[in-house]
């Protein structure tokens, strides 16, 4: 099951979780601010632990690119 979905009619086409209006970025922002996965799951009862893991994996996949540094 692909937990990260894209719909141009929803959330401006940003990646969301399982077609819900919960954006991957929102979950990542909460984690970056120090929220624990259990706290996120309590605040968003429709989320599952695998959704949070999918958000982390999605971010890891998309930051693995070369960075060009000017001379």
For the chain, what is the radius of gyration of the CA atoms? Answer: 14
User: Three-class SS of residue 27?
Assistant: helix
Q: Quick one: pLDDT at residue 14?
A: 95
Q: Quick one: pLDDT at residue 71?
A: 67
Q: Is the pLDDT of residue 63 over 70?
A: yes
Q: What is the mean pLDDT of residues 5-34?
A: 96
pTM flag (> 0.75): yes
pLDDT tens digits, residue range 41-58? 999 999 999 999 999 999
Q: Is the pLDDT of residue 15 over 80?
A: yes
Distances (CA, A) of 25 to 15, 68, 70, 71: 8, 24, 29, 32
| Domains of the chain by start residue, with CATH | 4-62 (1.10.10.10)
Q: What is the mean pLDDT of residues 9-23?
A: 95
What is the secondary structure of 45-65 as a DSSP string? TT--HHHHHHHHHHHHHHS-S
């Amino acid at each position: 099951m692909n937990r990260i979905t894209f719909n141009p009619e929803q959330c401006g086409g940003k990646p969301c979780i399982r077609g819900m209006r919960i954006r991957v970025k929102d979950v990542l922002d909460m984690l970056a601010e120090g929220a624990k996965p259990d706290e996120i799951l309590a605040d968003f009862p429709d989320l599952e632990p695998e959704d949070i893991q999918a958000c982390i994996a999605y971010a890891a996949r998309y930051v693995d690119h070369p960075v060009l540094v000017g001379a």
